[in-house]
Amino acid sequence: MNDRSRPPLLDSSPALLAKGYAWLPDRWRRTDGPVVRARLMGQHAVALRGPEAVRFFYDERHVERGTALPGPVLSTLFGHGAVHTLDGRAHRVRKGMFLSLLSGPQAVAGLVECVTAAWEETVASWPGRPSVVLFDEASRILTRGVCRWAGVPLLDGDEVARDLVAMVDGFATPGPRHWRARRARARSESWLAQLVEDVRAGLATAPAGSALDVVVRHRGLDGEFLDPHTAAVELLNVLRPTAAVCWFVTYAGHALHHRPDVRRRLIEDGSAYAVAFAHELRRFYPFAPFVGGRAVSDLRWRGELIPAGALVLLDLFGQDHDPGLWEEPYTFDPRRFLARPPARDALVPQGGGDPAAGHRCPGEDVTVALLCALGPRLAGLAYDVPEQDLRIPLNRVPARVSSGFVLRAVRVPSSAYRLRTVVS
């Protein structure tokens, strides 16, 4: 290994914790070559970005994902034994379970219908309240909607929503948020594992074809049912990502506040603009900073050596703001997606690759569909935005609007007006 192929001696983990989303883009600005080399947690790490890099990264002949996920991430975000920890045929078989639930217009439409019903039920109460926090309200709405769709009974929807949000909010940081995330996962896994056991024992009912039913009946490569703990983990991998759309709903409020012209078009222009708005939310606002895997052998990327066992990072936030891919990347402008949809390996807020064959999130279509439904509904409301902290600190992972986006004096327009503004 020559000097150019060696990682720096100084570990970048403290810099990553301090800079968050800005860490890799800052390193790219100071790098001439096609990769960024760093040392993270004592390991050689090589960062890539760009559509070709996405295809390289998600080729299982090059990079495996399961062994690269740190224990703290599994103990909070994904869960031990989750589909994210599998590679090869085992991954494809488990992934097929999620694709059967989340792929296709009917599956997506059913989930969107449940969430929008929860939205309408909840929003009807907002005019009687002095103020609401959009992040918190959206998390509860999404949780109620996805649990209704998944066939998961809720005794305390607010507590479940808090736990689902906590798992996402605390996966990437040491300290109180992380420990809160661990406790939330332990509670949620225990609750859902018991539900799985009750369904199998005939003590509870799983609606036919629901996520609960599909997960309870799923058989792995060995032909056996998932054990209750793993089944609970995978149920959470349906519920948690849906609840996490509250980040984007809050970003939608932020975007509409700062861009009244976008709000007007979202109300007036119909479904094509709503789809473009959803894509631009996912491109512009911070969600996942990068994803990681491990080189399965000595690799070459554009002439650069990536040694076997090295961490390989795909820079998601940097790619979604790369001026080589996007004109004026730090300007929020849905019009960029009106002429043509985003290329699969160019827009990568939740990862890239082929959802059917690789590790790409199978819920991306759900995220877009939910934002297409809720964005115009939010734009169609009347409300005041009081003085508050609307910053989105990039050193916080996952980033979020600091105030949660407070709405005051919400007014629900007349039925005729609302119908015109929310139909897509």
By the 8 A CB rule, do 46 and 35 touch? yes
Q: Is the pLDDT of residue 230 over 60?
A: yes
Residue 329: pLDDT band (50, 70, 90) is very high
Q: Is the pLDDT of residue 414 over 70?
A: no
pLDDT digits (tens, 9 = 90+) for 115-149: 999 999 999 999 999 999 999 999 999 999 999 99
Reading the block at residue 326, the tokens are 């996007």
DSSP 386: -
| CB environment 330-340: b (16+ within 10 A), e (fewer) | eebbbebbbee
Which pLDDT belongs to residue 424?
Answer: 32
Say whether 295 sits in a helix, a strand or coil.
strand
Q: Is the pLDDT of residue 107 over 90?
A: no
Q: How far from 280 is each of 10, 221, 328, 338, CA to CA, in Å?
A: 36, 39, 12, 10
Reading the block at residue 64, the tokens are 């495996």
Which pLDDT belongs to residue 264?
Answer: 94
- What's the fold here for domain 3-120+128-422? Cytochrome p450 (1.10.630)
Say whether 410 sits in a helix, a strand or coil.
strand
User: Which of 111, 119, 155, 120 lies closest to 139, judged by CA?
Assistant: 119
Residue 423: pLDDT band (50, 70, 90) is very low
Q: In the chain, what are the domain boundaries?
A: 3-120+128-422
Which pLDDT belongs to residue 371?
Answer: 97
Ranking 85-99, 153-167, 212-226 by mean pLDDT, the lowest is: 85-99
Q: Is the pLDDT of residue 421 over 60?
A: no
Which pLDDT belongs to residue 69?
Answer: 79
Which pLDDT belongs to residue 343?
Answer: 86
**Higher model confidence: residue 360 or residue 247?**
247
pLDDT digits (tens, 9 = 90+) for 348-401: 998 886 655 544 566 788 999 999 999 999 999 999 999 999 999 999 999 999
β-pair type (63-64, 43-48): unpaired
Residue 173: pLDDT band (50, 70, 90) is confident
Which pLDDT belongs to residue 416?
Answer: 33
Which pLDDT belongs to residue 4?
Answer: 62
Which pLDDT belongs to residue 418?
Answer: 44
Which pLDDT belongs to residue 222?
Answer: 87
β-pair type (43-48, 311-315): parallel
pLDDT digits (tens, 9 = 90+) for 256-287: 999 999 999 999 988 999 999 999 999 999 99
By the 8 A CB rule, do 229 and 189 touch? yes
Tokens 């799923």, residue located: 218
Ranking 120-129, 131-140, 171-180, 306-315 by mean pLDDT, the lowest is: 171-180
At position 30, the amino acid (one-letter code) is R
Helix H segments across 151-175? 157-169
Burial level of 15, CB count in 10 A (0-12/13-18/19+)? middle
Which pLDDT belongs to residue 91?
Answer: 83
pTM equals: 0.92
